[in-house]
Amino acid sequence: MKSHIPVTEAAFELKLSVDTIRRWEKKGLIKATRDKNNHRLFDKTELQKAYDKYVTGGDSHPFQILKSNTLHEVTCIELFAGAGGLALGLKNAGIKSEMLVEIDKDAAETLKQNFPEWNVVCDDARNVDYTGVKADIVSGGFPCQAFSYAGSKLGFEDARGTLFFELLRCVKEVRPKIVLGENVRGLLRHDNGRTLSTMVSLLEEQGYRVRYKVARAQYLDVPQKRERLIIWGIRNDLDYDFYFPKERDYTISMREALKNIPDSLGQKYPARKAEIMKLIPPGGYWRDLPLDLQKEYMRASFYMGGGKTGMARRLAWDEPSLTLTCAPAQKQTERCHPSETRPLTVREYARIQTFPDTWEFCGKMTSQYKQIGNAVPVNLGYYLGKCILNMMKLESTPHEAELSMLSKNTFEEDLPLFSQAF
């Protein structure tokens, strides 16, 4: 019996239109793979779960913050640690933090507030000395910066001045078993692909085998359509296999994620904006407004090209959230509550990023939003931690981490089928 079927067969079996199946895929509610003829195929089990959820109104998959009861003697140094999403996720998987480096004072204070025992270094990564520091893993979500190309190939010193160089310097001095880098999907195409290609070459120069792939958080117990490029490096002398998070056959809705959410700080709309946003239905955006209000709200953007689907956007209860940014009420990436006419609150932001309600964020409200919006979702960090433990042969959890079938790094091979979250 076939486990994957084409869109026409899926529509026939579920008695739905082909457009409905395609719309589910475009929204990131179901996944698609491609056959040898480049045709989309859909998993039958996943289709049935989507049908039960979106057509018959059946139960959604419950929201939970994933946590293991086993703590391993595996340590990690993390650069650009932010508010601790990745660090907490790795901890929940069973990995200890050896050192956390973060330049932002509010984010560093957040780390210290929630785990006073963590070794938090609040400083520019350029100033950190790793002498005598040992760790099994070096990780970091470095900013995406172009390199200055003086020749055909860059070496270690040629990367100096970029923050990736600081991650590389830590790797060179500490010599971890595994390197974990994470970044936006856009790094795949940054500077026509040269930035990522250079990073891979520099890690290889330091004695590491490298693989990368896009992780889609909404299939990894995160109620949010968020894509991150995951870069693994394994030291050449180690007989480890590459693993990547195994995507689930369900997504978690906003309705499940925001159950019993505690009250918290939150931005407010100006009076006129609130009047306009009140007219947007759940899951809708500016095109759902009358034409005169479209022009009033959009102003010059109304006459520009592009879909602008993030503008005047209200989230939907029965879907994952769109990608959270540094603030919930930016004009290009509006994140309005599904039923109340207001931006998402700080605690709602944190829930969607799978932080526990007990995780306290320091600083002013704008800083708290920024810390959360920039974070790695905690549950994504958990799955990455499980991948590390599978690589190191300390655990075998094929339902959480799957052996990489990638024999090489190519852009198209690593790109999943998924439309833009905005």
Residues classed as catalytic: 144
Q: What is the rounded distance in angstroms from the CA atom of residue 143 to the CA atom of residue 187?
A: 10
Query: Counting Cβ atoms within 10 Å, is residue 309 exposed (0-12), middle (13-18) or buried (19+)?
Result: middle
Q: Which of 381, 358, 402, 399 is nearest to 243 (CA)?
A: 402
3-state SS class at 21: helix
CB count within 10 Å of CB 115 equals 17
Question: DSSP secondary structure string, 73-136?
Answer: S-EEEEES-TTSHHHHHHHHHT-EEEEEE---HHHHHHHHHH-TTS-EE-S-GGG---TT---S
Pick left, alpha or beta for residue 294 (phi over 0 → left; psi -120 to 50 → alpha; otherwise beta): alpha
Element housing 209 (H / E): strand 208-216
C-alpha–C-alpha distance, residues 328 and 334, integer Å: 6
Cα–Cα distance list, 1 to 4, 17, 18, 34, 235 (Å): 9, 23, 22, 18, 42
Nearest alpha carbon to residue 94 among 112, 118, 73: 73
- Grouping H, G, I as helix, E, B as strand and the rest as coil, residue 70 is coil
Is residue 413 a contact partner of residue 264, using CB atoms and an 8 Å limit? no
Which two three-digit tokens encode residue 217? 């958080």
Residues 6+ apart with CB under 8 A from 144: 183, 184, 186, 187, 190, 195
